[in-house]
Amino acid sequence: MSDLLERLRGRGWRMTAQRRVVAEVLAGDHVHLTADEVHARAVAKLPEISRATVYNTLGELVTLGEVLEVSTDKRAKRYDPNAHRPHHHLVCAQCGSIRDVHPTGNPMADLPDSERFGFTVSDVEVTYRGVCPNCAKA
Amino acid sequence: MSDLLERLRGRGWRMTAQRRVVAEVLAGDHVHLTADEVHARAVAKLPEISRATVYNTLGELVTLGEVLEVSTDKRAKRYDPNAHRPHHHLVCAQCGSIRDVHPTGNPMADLPDSERFGFTVSDVEVTYRGVCPNCAKA
DNA sequence: AGATTGACTTAGACAAAGTCCAGTGTAGGG
DNA sequence: CCCTACACTGGACTTTGTCTAAGTCAATCT
Ligand SMILES: [Mn+2]
Ligand SMILES: [Mn+2]
Ligand SMILES: [Zn+2]
Ligand SMILES: [Zn+2]
């Protein structure tokens, strides 16, 4: 995720300890943390970081297209650093765990003109729901 | 929507003025109101109805499968009375208006076993995003 | 019809998620 | 090493949703 920091520097971002820490927390695969989870993990690395800064930084990253907002459950938004490979989500209805998935086919092509109501459709988001192996055996 | 009231009576519900008003507010096609919008419209018909009752009633309708919860934006949940014909949603990214759509094909079949991570997948939710004709011409 | 009763409703306190702002601190260019 | 525009902080505030104690009333019974 240090290439992210490079890109941000290239965009004229001031490199602060807070922004570095938020970027660190977001590293990895299948990462879909809430803002408060990001804050909690950031505090572990930099105790004085404030909630407002975490919200600001996440919001900026979303605006720049470096992070996606996902709302799989009906509670807090989740922040997804996997913004450069298009994908969808598979969510456990019981424990809420989330995996990135790459379905075949193009759901966009499945929406006929007669069902578009004059909209210019630009994007589609697919959420699969089920029970994860862990919850299934319990 | 009076068949809804019938079904509720059949399930042993007490028929109160509040529940009747909430059912009335939910009548129609392409209706996807937030709880507060339902409350505002209910108050117009029955001024003393409380927020708690609207939330309770909506929750009960969801539990009974008579109304669906939808979260197309990342803000408040929306309540969808079209629970008996499966469908997906087309959302205007600018004004937030929502239409029910019926895509062809079955997105569930597009998720190969290798992308299921051992989950038992039971449901899929598709949200199309774009710009509605109204916002396009402005 | 009148009495009864438990389901229903209410107002308001509370909680969680997110926004906003005034004051303070600091990254990075000169 | 100074400056200053940008960034950060803490706390107040808003929105969305939940909970509870006390009061009300729909449906049933007599
Ligand atoms: Mn993802
Ligand atoms: Mn709908
Ligand atoms: Zn699970
Ligand atoms: Zn629109």
| Nucleotide nearest the Cα atom of B13 (by C1') | C7
Does the structure show a pLDDT above 80 at A91? Answer: yes
Residue B89: which of A116, A88, A92 has the closest Cα? Answer: A116
| Residue B3: predicted pLDDT | 80
Same fold, A2-80 and A88-137: no
Chain A residues whose beta carbon lies within 8 Å of the beta carbon of residue B104: 110, 112
| Residue A54: predicted pLDDT | 98
Per-residue pLDDT of chain B (138 residues; tens, 9 = 90+): 568 888 898 888 999 999 999 999 999 989 999 999 999 999 999 999 999 999 999 999 999 999 999 988 778 999 999 999 999 999 999 889 999 999 998 999 999 999 999 999 999 999 999 999 999 987
| Residue A73: predicted pLDDT | 76
For A97-127, write each residue's pLDDT tens digit: 999 999 998 999 999 999 999 999 999 999 9
CATH of B2-80, one of 3.40.50.1820, 3.90.120.10, 1.10.10.10, 1.10.260.40: 1.10.10.10
| Residue A82: predicted pLDDT | 95
Distances from the Cα of B30 to the Cαs of A128, B13, B91, B123, in angstroms? 23, 26, 11, 21
Residue A126: which of A72, A81, A62, A63 has the closest Cα? Answer: A72
Per DSSP, the three-state class of A28 is coil
Does the structure show a pLDDT above 90 at A67? Answer: yes
Residue A98: which of A37, A31, A38, A23 has the closest Cα? Answer: A31
- pLDDT interval class at A72 (50, 70, 90): confident
| Residue A2: predicted pLDDT | 62
Q: Which ligand is in closest contact with the Cα of B119?
A: 3
CATH number of A88-137: 3.30.1490.190
Q: How close B80 comes to chain A (CA, Å)?
A: 14
Q: CA geometry: angle at B31 spanning B30 and B32, to 5°?
A: 115
Per DSSP, the three-state class of B11 is coil
Q: How close B58 comes to chain A (CA, Å)?
A: 15
Answer yes or no: are the C-beta atoms of A38 and A22 closer than 8 Å.
yes
Q: Which residue is nearest to nucleotide C12 (CA to C1')?
A: B52
Paired tokens of A65 = 């297209």
List the beta bridge partners of residue A101: A88
A114 touches B: beta carbon within 8 Å: no
Paired tokens of B90 = 């087309």
Answer yes or no: are the C-beta atoms of A103 and A124 closer than 8 Å.
no
Distances from the Cα of B4 to the Cαs of A92, B20, B78, B84, B96, in angstroms? 31, 10, 19, 11, 27
Backbone phi and psi for residue B107, each to the nearest 5 degrees, phi listed first:
-60, -25
| Residue A43: predicted pLDDT | 97
Q: CA geometry: angle at B50 spanning B48 and A75, to 5°?
A: 155
Cα distance between residue A4 and residue A61, in whole Å: 10
Q: Where are the domains of chain B?
A: 2-80, 88-137
Cα distance between residue B18 and residue B48, in whole Å: 9
The per-residue DSSP string of A43-86 comes to HHHSTT--HHHHHHHHHHHHHTTSSEEE--SSSS-EEES--SS-
The share of chain A scoring above pLDDT 90, in percent, equals 81
Of A92, A93, A124, the CB nearest to B126: A124
Q: Has this prediction a pTM greater than 0.85?
A: yes
B/e letters for A122-133, b = 16+ CB within 10 Å, e = fewer, are: eebbbbbbbbbe
The DSSP symbol for B93 reads T
| Residue A1: predicted pLDDT | 55
The share of chain A scoring above pLDDT 70, in percent, equals 99
B74 touches A: beta carbon within 8 Å: yes
